[in-house]
A and B are shown apart, each in its own frame.
Chain A
Amino acid sequence: MEHFISLIVRSIFVDNMVFAFFLGMCSYLAVSKSVKTAIGLGIAVVFVEVITLPVNYLLQTAVLANGALVEGVDLTFLAFILFIAVIAGIVQLVEMIVERFAPALYSQLGIFLPLIAVNCAIMGGSLFMQQRIGMEANNPQAILNFWDSVAYALGSGIGWMVAIVLFAAVREKMEYCNIPKPLRGLGIAFITVGLMAMAFMCFSGIKM
C-alpha cells in the first residue's frame, strides 16, 4: 500500500511526464489556450492512460517477456507494435463507449479523444512501465505487480493533467501581456514551460 501511494505521488510531482520527460508536448502546446479545454483533455488522458497501461502491463508480463509464452522465446522486440495497437484500439473503444453513454462528455472532448492515440505521454507511459518492471524491489520507481502499474498510470495521467491545467491558466493571463513580437505565441510558451519545469524541480528532493 505504501509503495502504491508513493508511486502515485512520485509520478505526479517528481517524474512528471511533461516537466521531467517532455512527453505529450504536441497536444500540450496546442490545446492549452483555455483552462476548460485543458481540463477536458486532461481527463481524457488520465482515462486512457489508466486503461491502456495495465493492459500493456499484462501483455508485457504474460506474452512478451523472455520465456513467458514459450520457454526460451523473447518477444520483447514486438513491444512497440503491440503497445501502439493496444493504445489505438482502446482509444477507438473508449471513443465509442463515451459517445454512446456520455454524449455530453463526448461533445466536450471533441477531436481530442482520437488524438490521444498519438499522444506520446500514453505510449511513453507504457514504455517506461516496461523499463520499470525489471527494477529491484527497493527502488521507489519499480513496478512489481499489476496494482503498481495501475498506480503508475493514475499518477502519470494526473501529473500530465496538472501540468496542462496550470499552464493553461498562466497562458490565459498572458493574453494581456506586452510580449516582444517574435516571442509571441510559441516562444513565450516554451519559456513559461521552462520556468514551470524549474519550479517542479523542487519536488525532486521528496523522499518517500
Chain B
Amino acid sequence: MKKTANNTQIITGNYAVALAAKLSRVQVVAAYPITPQSPATETLSQFVEKGELDAEYVRVESEHSALAVCIAASTVGARTFTATSANGLAYMCEQLHWAAGARLPIVLACANRAMGAPWNVLNDQQDSISQRDTGWIQIYARNSQEILDSIIQAYRIAEKLYVPAMVCYDGYILSHTVMPVEVPRQEQVDRFLPPYKPHTVLDPSTPQNLNLVTLANPRRDARGVMCHGYMELRYLLQEALENSLETVVEVDREFGDVFGRSYGGTHWGYRLEDATLILMAMGSVATEATVAVDQLRQRGHRAGLLALRVYRPFPKQDVISATKRAELIVVFDKNISYGYEGATCSDLKAALYGNSIQVPVHNYIVGLGGRDVKARELADAAERSLRWAEEGRPQKEVEWLNCHI
C-alpha cells in the first residue's frame, strides 16, 4: 500500500470500509463473508488480530446471526459494525427490521451485488433497494473517499437519532477498484464522533423487558405509566427517519468543517444550474452520468445530473427544488421493482406529484447483474428520450438499456 505525506492511501472501497470502521472505534464486529464484501471484513479481522483495533470480532455462521450479534451488542451499549452483500443482506432481512424497531444505531456497509437466482456476484442495487422499507437510513457512495467518510458520518447520524444506517457502495466497481483516499487522523475522527450512548441500557441492577410483546393500543404498565402501543412506536420511527434528512445535512456540513470534505448532504448535482434535461442516478452510475452530461453538453443539450446520495429518507423537497427548471427527467435505475418500474423513478414521480412541475419522466433500467454501463450509452439514451419528448409522444415506457431480448 502506497502512503504519501498527507496520508493519502491508494486503496480499494472495501479497504476504505475497514478503515472507516476502525477510525470510528467500533467495539463489536460480526460478519459473515460474501463476495464482494469479504475483503472489508477480512481486513477488519486483521486489524483486531494485530491489536490495531480494540474490538470483539465475533465469527458467526450466517448473516442473520451477524446482525443478531450486532443487535445484542448495541443493546448493551457497544458501537457495532457489520457488512454484507446481496443474498447475505436478504438473509438479514428479519433482523434489519428488528434493529430499526429496537432503535439501535448499527452501521452496515453493503457492497451492492445482484440477487440470485441465478447466482451472479456482480453489481446492481437490487439487494439494498429491496430492503428499503426496513426503517434503515440508506446512503449511496460514489467513490472510495465517500465510502470512508460516509461510514464515519453514518455513526453520527445513527447515534443521534437512534436509527440504523446502511452505507451502500457498488460491488467491484467501487469495492475492488483502487483509488486515492485521504485517510483522516484518529484524533480528528475522535473529535467528530463522540462515544456511543445507548437510549436504554440493559443493566442487571435494573432489569428490563426489551422489545416485549406490544399490542395495538397504548397500555398502562404495572407502575401506572401509559406505554406506547405498536402503532405509536412505528410513528416515532417514521418521525425519526423524516427528521434524519436534516441531520444528514447537518452532519455532512460539520464533517466538511472538520475534514474539508462534504458531499451535498442528501443529494448532489453536476452542471445542474441551467439544466433543462436532467439525468438522475445513484451510486457509481451517477459518477458515470457526469461524463454523459459532458457529452450531452458537447452535443448542444443543456444537460445536468441530479444524484441521490440518500435514498431513505427520500429527500423530497431537495428533489423538487433541483428539478424546477426541468423539461425532461431521465432516471437510470440499477434495480427493478418487478411488475412496475425502477424504484428511484417511482419515488421521484411521487415527489413531483401535486407540485407545479409537470415534466415527462423517462426510466431506464441499467446494469443489472454487472451489465456494463457506458457514459456514451447513458447520453444516447437521454438523447433518445429528448427526441421522444420533442415529438410530443405520450409517456415513454420503461426501457431496459442494452438488454438483448
| A joins B in a complex | no
